[in-house]
Amino acid sequence: MTRRLQYKIQKQHNGKSIGMFLKEKEYSRAVVIELKKTQAGIKRNGTWAGVNEIIKTGDILEICLAEQAYSENIVPKKGRLNILYEDEDILVVNKPYDTPIHPSVNNYDNTLANAISYYYHQQNRPYIFRCINRLDRDTTGVTIIAKNLLSGSILSRRMKEHHLSRIYVAFVEGITEEEGTIDLPIGRMEDSIIKRKVDKKEGKSAVTHYRRLEVFQIEGQAVSVVALQLETGRTHQIRVHMSAIDHPLLGDFLYNENNHMLTRQGLHAAYCAFYHPITGEYMKIAAPLSQDMERLIQQGLNRSQEGYDLENKLLALKW
């Protein structure tokens, strides 16, 4: 894909080098190196320019991010793709369950990466897969994909610095407190490469905040729907923390193997807020519940109408 950007130099940048200006615009060193390799990757007033050139008020700086490569190990394969938002820099989808993010030994062509590669292959556009927030195979919801090297580097850094605000929704056993904070370190289970546990001696710090949204009964068993925000991003953090306070997720075969109300763990990445990596616009993107969660909550709340108003429920929260 090719992304072209144009900047009119303002007074506050007069006398700075192009390299300094790009750094202020959050261009990473890796992005600048690629621009230097690209013919006419950087142009000042229509002429190919180097990063050490000095810019003046009123100059027009043109940037060309040209990528003709593609992710060689990702086979284009049509799949479920629910697009929530798309522009020149980012693609945001509502990831379905039973869908891994990346191909692996046992998941060669059934992943989100395959479906997105197919989507752009149909448009004859070369594409490198850059997923910003990775979800477990059976976790549904908001997943952000960068469409170029610049948006990818900016969002990846913000993700590491916890500058992407995310809210998850979980269906858990029992009636939780109305709200709470779980501050318990998490470490790897000794006899498993996948499973995690609360480990107060050797675990890494993990903090989860939660608010209860709903309570209902299914076949005599109480279920709470909770919204969660994470201060940290440990593997299986929500699943481990909710199990630790005796409210394990429905359908979680790892941490609650006897519950079969859902066929997968009841966890959904419901909402994400962040500043657009290029325009700076503040983005708020919500993903509706998947069909299995929607059916369960309608059954539990004894409602016949379709569409649980999840987005407004989340926006009403005061974290």
Name residue, tokens 């195979």.
137
Identity of the amino acid at 165: S
Residues 6+ apart with CB under 8 A from 273: 164, 165, 166, 282, 283, 284, 285
Q: Which of 59, 89, 136, 292 is catalytic?
A: 136
**136 part of the active site:** yes
Q: What is the DSSP string of 127-153?
A: ---EESS---TT-EEEEEEE-SHHHHH
Helix (H) or strand (E) holding 210: strand 207-218
Query: Which residues neighbour 18 within 8 Å (Cβ) at sequence distance 6 or greater?
Result: 42, 44, 49, 50, 51, 52, 53, 54, 55, 61
Give CA angle at 319 (306, 230), nearest 5°: 85
Handedness of CA 248, 84, 110, 74 (dihedral sign): negative
Asked if 259 and 182 count as a contact pair (C-beta separation under 8 A), the reply is no
Which residues have CB under 8 Å from 165's CB, separation 6+? Answer: 229, 272, 273, 274
Helix (H, G, I), strand (E, B) or coil at 37: helix
CA distance 97 to 292: 10
Partners of 180 in the beta sheet? 210
Asked if 301 contacts 220 with a C-beta cutoff of 8 angstroms, the reply is no
The whole-angstrom separation of Cα 17 and Cα 205 is 42
Nearest to 207 by CA among 247, 189, 180: 180
Q: Report, as residue numbers or ranges, the catalytic residues.
A: 136
